[in-house]
Amino acid sequence: MKLTIFAATGGIGRQLLEQAVAAGHDVTAVARNPRNLPATQARVVTADLAAADAAALQTAVGGADAVLSALGPRTRADVGVVARGTRSITEAMGASGVRRVVVVSAAPVGTVPSPGRPHPPRHDPGDGFVIRYLAGPIVKRVLAANYADLAELEDVLRASDLDWTAVRPPRLTSKPVTGRYRTAYGQNIRGGIFVARADVAHYMLRALDQPETYRQTIGIAS
Ligand SMILES: NC(=O)c1ccc[n+]([C@@H]2O[C@H](COP(=O)([O-])OP(=O)(O)OC[C@H]3O[C@@H](n4cnc5c(N)ncnc54)[C@H](OP(=O)(O)O)[C@@H]3O)[C@@H](O)[C@H]2O)c1
């Protein structure tokens, strides 16, 4: 497939790039600092998603069969970039006639209110007692701005008419790819506290041609 990968310099993004090229896909890697990309045979496009240039984004996504994004804030000051950047990506996709997009969200987001979803469920059916009542509320308070950004990212996707999938991992690790992980539609994984960035990338690539994942949030954990 012809794939465009945003944030290809990040933890998940590098895995997407490496695995997609290894699988024989025709890849365009998008990065704000292309010098930070690993050596790759992919086509490279430079774009800063904090203030994206529509023409550059259309160059990046034009002709793609699908778009993948592992965009995330590097610093606190960057929080907000995911919703803003993804809005620019989806606008470029709309202008270029590209429909399929798979992005990274996060496990707690299903219960985070957003402008487009002001009354989410109080609890995620996949969360057990510890996540629901102890660890979850603390993490959600500490990372409230990050999760608000990701909840708005999901709003952007829901408001679009694209064939989107938002993958919601719990705590990410840098372990090698296993291809062995659990997934669930619209909910988190019971007892699933970790997943490897490499396995998130593996699943994002696998989901690309699965229509049953269109317009779905997907819980994932090792
Ligand atoms: N950490 C966790 O345990 C966890 C758990 C669940 C979900 N998540 C979500 O998963 C996301 C991805 O995780 P990760 O470990 O792969 O993140 P990461 O290594 O921090 O990568 C973030 C990527 O976003 C890019 N980026 C940031 N601002 C940008 C901008 N203005 N324009 C273009 N690119 C920009 C970065 O580019 P540069 O290389 O140029 O900085 C980098 O490629 C996280 O950001 C978070 O939202 C994280």
Give the residue from 42, 47, 69 showing the smallest Cα distance to 58.
47
- Residue 109 has a pLDDT of 98
C-alpha distance from residue 156 to each of 32, 77, 89, 134 (Å): 22, 21, 10, 30
**Average confidence (pLDDT) per 10 residues, the chain, 222 residues:** 98 98 98 95 95 91 98 96 97 97 98 97 95 93 97 98 98 98 98 97 98 98 98
Helix (H/G/I), strand (E/B), else coil: 127: coil
pLDDT for 53:
87
Ligand 1 within 6 A of 12 CB? yes
The residue count for the chain: 222
What pLDDT was estimated at residue 24? 97
Which residue has the least CA distance to atom 41 on ligand 1? 74
Closest approach atom of ligand 1 to CA 13: 16
Q: Is the CB of 210 under 6 A from ligand 1?
A: no
User: Which helix H or strand E contains 218, and what residues bound it?
Assistant: strand 216-221
The response to whether residue 69 sits with its C-beta less than 6 Å from ligand 1 reads no
pTM above 0.95, yes or no: yes
Tokens of 207: 């989901």
CA–CA separation, 47 and 34 (whole Å): 9
The atom of ligand 1 lying closest to the CA of 146 is: 47
Whether 214 contacts 183, CB under 8 Å? no
30, 32, 142, 220: residue to mutate for ligand 1 pocket, most atoms within 8 A of CB = 32
Which DSSP string corresponds to 164-184? Answer: EEEEE-SEEE-PPP-S--EEE
CA distance 192 to 157: 25
Structure token pair of residue 30? 């998008």
Residue located nearest, by CA, to atom 28 of ligand 1: 73
Give residue 47 CA to ligand 1 midpoint distance, Å: 15
| Per-residue confidence (pLDDT) for residue 221, from 0 to 100 | 98
CA distance 22 to 26: 10
**Choice from 35, 37, 71 to test ligand 1 binding pocket (greatest atom count within 8 A of CB):** 71
Q: Whose CA is nearest to atom 38 of ligand 1?
A: 9
Helices (H) and strands (E) in the chain, counts: 7, 10
In angstroms, the CA 75 to CA 89 distance is: 21
pLDDT recorded at residue 52: 84
Ligand 1 centroid to residue 187 C-alpha, Å: 22
Smallest CA-to-CA distance from 162 within 210, 109, 93 is with 93
Q: Under DSSP, is residue 150 helix (H, G, I), strand (E, B) or coil?
A: helix
Task: Please give the distance, rounded to the nearest whole angstrom, from the Cα atom of residue 70 to the centre of ligand 1.
Answer: 6
